Structures are given as structure tokens and as C-alpha cells.
A and B are shown apart, each in its own frame.
Chain A
Amino acid sequence: MTQKAVRAGYENGTGYLFILPWIIGFTAFTLIPFVALFYFAFTDYDLLSSPGWVGLDNFIRMFTVDEKFLTSLKVTFFYVLTAIPLRLIFALFIAMLLNMKIRFVGLYRTAFYIPSIIGGSVAVAVMWGQLFGLNGAVNGIIGLFTGTSPNTSWIANPDTALWTLILMAVWQFGSPMIIFLAGLKNIPDSYYEAAVVDGANGFHRFVKITLPLLTPVILFNLVMQIIGGFMTFTQGLIITSGGPLDRTLFYQLYVYRQGFEFLDMGYAAALSCFLLLIVAVLTALVFKSSSAWVHYESKG
């Protein structure tokens, strides 16, 4: 701690001391499971008896005979490409709204965060059915405006099922909203004061000050939402069971099904490894690109 290091030089002792908890935790809780995952991917493992080495069989099956592998990959990409941008834009918009000094803002913030809390609730599957089912509130409201309520159940109609889940993802914009809000609050008022003196208008200030200073937080939300999007699973399991016609068969749901319903854990591990690779590459690309658009105050 008392090292007198210059800024450019390494401070190995201090640095490792600070991240020591991570190194211990990673080694103890994550490293072994991580290695196991890769090992399982090359085995036939039903969980109930020992894994047997099968070489590349799982991967060959994935790319040659398994149609559902492709289906689930498409569903997941579609979901990530639609739900994530919508959710982020919405979250940022609301965060800016709530950053204003208006009355009841605390109540609004809490109300907007509630979908994120209730989303994990045990009741959510039943609730979503009550909203988007045949006799649900959505059809009721449409009926109120148009005179006839649609004779369809949105969550079980092959053309709309995935969209209801996308809508749900956007509706649960609470977490990225809060992070944006915290990011906005981190921007010192003095920057804006200076801009006002310079005569910048609202839009100018947003583009010149807010956005650049928010980029580290945008990067965080982007990376996390991409990863989270690919990991999406619960909604598909409890609300739509992957159906109808596999239109909501998320990749992770398919992995789960192979692993825990068909007890084909080796294949599930192989599927996971492939997704891990995809997401790792995407994440790395985002990080690489970030040097061009993310503005840091420090060089750490």
C-alpha cells in the first residue's frame, strides 16, 4: 500500500490486493465448472451415470441433423436484435424524462421499476396470460376502441407470440433505466452551466455533453443487454413453453430442454459452448469498437 509508484508503472502488489477476492472466487466457484462445461461438450453425459468420451459427435450432430438448433438460433438473434435496441432506447428516453426536476418523480421511478420486479414473480406467467390471452386485457382494450375484440390469443398465435415476449422485455426497462439515470446524475451540472453560457440549445447539449459523457454507461448497458438477451430463457419456459411452433424456442431454452428434460447434458454443453463463442465474439467486437465511441475521463 505504501508503494510509491509512478503513474505509468505497474503496481502489482496493490493491484492484486484489490482484485484478490475476484481471483479467489473465480478459482473456487467458476473455474472448475467452466472446465467441466468444455469437458462435457465432448461426452455423452446423462447426469445419472458417468460421462463417456464421444469426441466431436455432439458438434457434428449440431451442424448436420439438428434443425431445432438453427431454429432456436434464429429466434434468439431476432429477439436480441429487436428487443434490446427497443428496450435501451426506451430506457434512455424515460431516464432523461425522470432526470428532470418535476413533482412525484420518485413515485414515477418506482412505478416504472415495478415491471422489472414483478417480472420474476411466480405469478407472471398467469398474469401475462391474463393480459395477452383470448379474454385478456389487451383484447378488451382493442375491443373498446374498435368495437370488436380480436378472436386470437396473442401469446399462442405463431405470428405474435415472440412479439409479446419482446414487448415484455421492453416493458421491463427498469434496470437499464436506473443505470442510465445514475449515469446522467454522474454528469456534473457545471458542464451544462458552461454550455448554457455558451448559448447551446437543448438538443446541442444532449449531443455534445450528455451523450459523450454517458457513453461508458451506454457501453455497459449495451454489453449487458446483449449478453442478457442471448441468455433469455425463463419467459420462454414459463409463458410460452417455447411454442407455438417453436416460435419462442430461445437458444437457452433449447439447451435446458436437452439437458434437463432429455437428460442429454453432453449435447447441452456442446450447444452452450457454441453460444458462448458467439456471444464472446460479439462482446469482444463491442469492446473493440468502444475505443472509437466511448469517452472515458481517465486512462486506467
Chain B
Amino acid sequence: MTTRLFGQKITRREDPRLLTGHGRYVDDVSGTAIAAAFVRSPHAHADILDIDVTGALDVTGVIAVWTHEDLPGQAAERLPMLIPHPSIVAPHTGYALAKDHVNFVGEPIVMVIAENRYIAEDAANRIEVEYSFREAVVGVEASREGTRIVHEGMEDNVAAHIVQDVGDVDAGLEGAPHVLELDLEFERSACMPMEGKGVVARWDPGEESLEVHSSTQTSTGLRAVLAAKLEIPLTRVEVITPDVGGAFGVKINHPWPEELAVACAARALETTVKWTEDRREHFISSAHERAQTQWVKVGFDDEGRILGLDVKFWHDNGAYLPYGVIVPLNTSTHIMGPYVIPTFRVEYWSLYTNTVMVTPYRGAGRAHAVFMMERTMDAIAAELGLDRTEVRLRNFVRDFPHPMGLRMQDGAEGCIDSGDFVTSMDKLKSIVGWDEFETYREQARSEGRRVGIGLACYIESTGAGPYEGGHIEVESSGRVNVWTGLTTHGQAHATVFAQIVADELGVPLETVHVKTGDTRKLPYSVGTWGSRGAVMAGNALHLTAKKVRQKALRIAGESLEADPEDLEIDEGMIQVKGDPSASMPLAAVSVLSNPLRYAFDESARAATQFAKDSAEDEPSIGPGEQPGLEEQEFFSPLRSTVANGMHAAIVETDPETADIRILRYCVVHDCGPMVNPLVVEGQVHGGVAQGVGGALYEKMAYDADGQLLNASFMDFLMPFASEVPHVETDHLETPSPLNPLGIKGAGEAGTIPAATAIASALEDAEGIPIRSMPLDPSTLWHMRTNHAAGELNRSR
């Protein structure tokens, strides 16, 4: 009997192709296509008075130069507000090419199309734009003050405002024996995938149709918006997501201005047009994440049990809000974490600034929530003189499901459906050696070294709806083709989805071939974001494979004259259970599933009209049946399933230079049953590395005029191998009751608590309250000086 593939550490099926130069990323598509380059605003806030393109027109090889005036119809209107939410009071989105105003450095103003990118950039450099300057609004503080306004016609910079509460927090705080307040800050970072964005748009003048390759996280979303903006029938637009060189959230927004402008140009010029983002463009014109200013007031009893939690935060959403309030909304709905919080109130303001807009980055606001809750937990422990793990244990949710009382990003009520936080904490303490740390600290101290240990717990709502689908077809050769609509950017979908399908169909893994993100085969999908790929498409494909299996057994049953209930599939052979002599290959069932007039090969003869001994007095395809061993099915969950985990870090700080090193990093992770532990661990490693970047290195350095001063890999410090610690992992697999496979998402888990766990460890090492991340050695060195002078207290 075939071993179940679900749960096996299977090496990836996409690897040989990607390793030998056979990957096909968007810039590898149509290498000779004409190329677009963009003139971008060098100013953060200005009115456009005039655009002089004549210099560009003189350049040999230039094909077209477009400003906003050249955009047709709906394409000239504002880009869509993709995710409306009742908290949004002032929705502002940009244009494909700026109209009259620019609101951040990097905003596209003119598109130049030329024979190649070199020439397009030559020409773009010759275009002169005349501006009238306005003062820029940079940072939460300037935006909150509201003396300068980003968008004309607004009285302040508030894009969105909301209060959500659970119980009476004022009463909860009033009755609390202890109350603490914390002021916290989180800086900007960005996804920074190794491949930037890109689009290749091919217009077929004969068909009047558009085929787009984009490095998008949602091919169906991009297809719908391009059809609407270009005002052409949906059926004449197809979007294909080829191999994608990482995304981490930044490629979910759509359409990017360039995607729309390039598609319009392809139609107007009746050809193929390509744009590949360069690194500087990615820094100044894609999206960032993470900047928030936070205030927490917590009331608790003598045992450290929380009685009330009151939170306010101010979220810098940059110049525009096309992706709505998903980031601050996720922050607000994840603050309570794995804890029972009897009374809770969260109020947030999402604020416009003259900077690159903010859309989700791995974790999508949840890292900010963890920062608030876990810094608070450490503050409670310090106040009461308790062990930090003990305070958490006393507040953990212990009964599941645990309704949260808040409405989540999917519109449904939040609920922690599964988990075992006490066991997870035991595991974490065990692998990091929590109880033995004081001995280690003393030993280090005797050697003149300063070390600290910290931890952070988190929950993550994953696998949000509305739905995903699967489409499976068994060819008459026995080859199993699998499609799902969501896109792939490193998550091993070609492997893990093949495992799920091969298990259900009883076929060898090698016969299963997975394709993702292609609207030509599966036009119904939502996209890849929010740790939803395995939960949503995994379950959809599991259900689809079940349907294919049922159909195969029915057809085989007729042929083998057996009850389908008595049949099984093993290694691609359908047989009567316990009697391998009565069997037929799945490939043969595929042949029989499609009644034929024409025998295209030897195997096809079996399905032709004279193959049966005698005529049958019934139609070849029965009522409600379809030809082919092929099915489609969708999975739509009641609500998001909530994954969880805990991280611990041990850090060392140099007593003289304040240099920071992470000595150990431990993860306990519960994403339910793992389809492929190799892949889950890889996701965790990568997530932690991004968390380490966000904790110690990465920061978008804007000056007061809105210039991004570190828009290159030389100045924006992403961790190399030398900066990322070895990650020690352990897993707990509590199944979710919300989907057939019981799985919970894992994609973002590594990133969410990392900066907070490191902050906790640094605070422990230094004895100085850490209220702001990232933290670099220079800042820490100054904090030591200020702390010694009595300017920083343990808590406010």
C-alpha cells in the first residue's frame, strides 16, 4: 500500500527546474519586447505645472511618450479602492500616471516606451517637469498634528478611524489593583523580494485580446481590474503569473500604476510591452510597511492576570490607501493574542503622509500587535517581580474554541479554533533552556559578557476566505494535471499540492503536475496572501481530488463489474480491495470517461463507439455527467483558522560598543498537521530572518522633505547569512476543526513575533526598557547613556 505523502519531508519538485536556469520569471518572458521606463516625482509633495516631453521625442528608438492625458477612459480615473471598510473616512488612491499633483517621491508621472530599456531611460531623463512645491508631511507625528495636509480638501490627515471593544474596559481598568502605561514605536521596513515587480502585456489585434504576465500575487484580481479599466470584456483578458522571485505581500496590490499603463500602451501600440522594476523603483514606488506609534494602558491583579487593556495606535499609511486598512485592522484584531482579556478596547487612526504607501508585508500588521501585547506582558512581569513565562501562563486561553469578540479582516468574527498554549510554552522553555538561563547569565557575566533572554507569543488568523478552487484532470496517459488559481512565489505549491492530490487519487507523486496563477484554466481565485495558500487551495484540491476519485471508482466499477465501495486505488491502479487480479489503471478509466468517435491512439480505441460488444440503449453521457476524468471544486471556510506559536531569543550585547548578536533563536510553531515539514521549516527560517531584519537592521530613512535616503541595498541593510542566527524549531500539531485537512497557515509565522522576542531579550540583557524597534547598536549605546543619567525609566 502506498505511504501517505501528507506529512512527509519530500524534497521539492520545482527545484531541479529552478536550479538549472529553467525558471521563467516575468523578465524572462518576451525578452525582445519593447520596454517602458517611467519618469517619477523627485518631490514628496508638489503640484505639476507643466510637462515638457520634447527632449524625449528626439531620441532614436523612442516609440511613445505618455502622460496622464494619454490614458484612455476608465484608465485615466483613480485606481480602485480595493478593500472598502467602514472605518475609512477619506479614501484616496493614485492614478496610473500622476494628474496635477504628486504625493510621494517615486510617484509615476510619464511613461516612455522605446525599443529597449536603455533607450527608454535615456529619453525619460530628457523629460522636464515643472513643479510648484508644497510642504511634505512625513511621519506619524507630523501627520497627526495636521498643520500640513497631504490631500487637498481634507481638514486633517486621517484616512480611517475605528474603535472596537470587548466588554467595559473603563470598568476593567478602574477595578484593577495595578495599572501600567506604555508608549511604543515601530519603524518602517519593506518586503524587498529579490525580484522586483514586472509586467509583460501582449495585445493581439486580431483577437482584440490582452494577455498579461505579471509577478502579481493575484492573477484573477489583476485580470478583473484590467478588464474594467480597459473597458474590454473579461473574456478577452488573461493573466498569467509565471515564476515569481519572492513577494511577501508587496505584490498583492493591483493594479500597480505600471501594470495599467503598460497594458493600455500594449493595446494602443498593438504589440507587446514590458516593464521590469529596478531596485531603486522598488524602494520608492512599491509599498512599505510597519510604522506605527502605539499607546497601551493595562490593568491587572496581584497575580498578573489582565483585567483591562486599552490601546490606541496611529498607523502611517503613506500617500494612498488602495489596499484599505488591512494592516491596522490586523494589528487591532491580533493584540489580545493567545490571552484571555476580559475587557478590551482598541482605537486606531490610519494617517496619510507624503511617503510610499503602506500595504501588507509578511505578518501584515500582526507583528505590531505582538509588540504591544508582549511588551506589556514583560512590563507586568517586571512590575510584579514575576517570571515572564509565568505571567503568560496565567493569562493563556485554555479552552477552545475561544471567540475573540472582534470582526477580522475576512469580515467574520474572530475565534481561536485550536491550540495548546501551555504545551507550546513547555516546549519552548525546554528547547531554549529558560529555567537554566540564570546560571548561563552568571557564567557569562563572570567572563565579562552581557547576555539576555526574551520571548514572544503570537496568534495569527490564517487561511481567510472567501474561497479558493481546484481543477484536476487525469489524462488518458495517466498524467494528472492540477490547477489552482492562487499564485506561487516560493511556497513549494508544486510539491505540497501534488502530495495532497496524490494521496487522494492513489497515484505516484511524479505523475502529478501542478500549475498555479493562470486565469486561462481557473479564472476563479482570490490570491496568495495572509498564510492562506495551503489552507485554502490545499483543501480545495483535496475536495477536488475526492470528486475525481469518486468518478474514477464509478467508471471502473462499471467496467470491473464491482461496487465502487469495494474498490481502491494504489500506485495508479484501481482494484477490488484484496483482489489485485480484478484491476485497471487510472489511465484506462480516463480513456473510458470520454466516449469517443475517433481513436487518436491505441488506448483511445477502448472509448470508441464500436468498442463495446453490443449497442446500449442509453446515452453515452448520462444526465448530470460530464465527459473526461476531470473535476472542479471549491473550498470556502466559515472563518479564518488561527495558528499560533512562541519564539525565544538569547542575545549578547557588547558592554562597550553596544554591538548586538543573537546567540540562539528558538521557535515552537503550531500550524496544525504539516503537509510537508521540510517546507514549513523553510517558511519559518525565512520568516525569522525577515523578523531579525526588522528587529535590528531595516528602517526606511526618510528625511523631513520626504526623501528616502537609503533607497539601495548598500544603504538599506537586509540581513546576510552572517546576520541571521541558526533557528531551532519544534512543532505542535493541533488540528483546526475549520477545514477537512485540519491545517492552519504557516507563511507569516516566522516574522510575526521575531522583533518582539529580540526586544524582550535586549531588555533583559540591558535592564533598559525597550519601547521602540528596530534597535541598532548606535541607538542602544545612546540609550545606555540616557538610562545612566536617569532619563529612561522601567515603565512610564
Binding between chains A and B: no
Binding site for A on B (CB under 8 A): none
Binding site for B on A (CB under 8 A): none
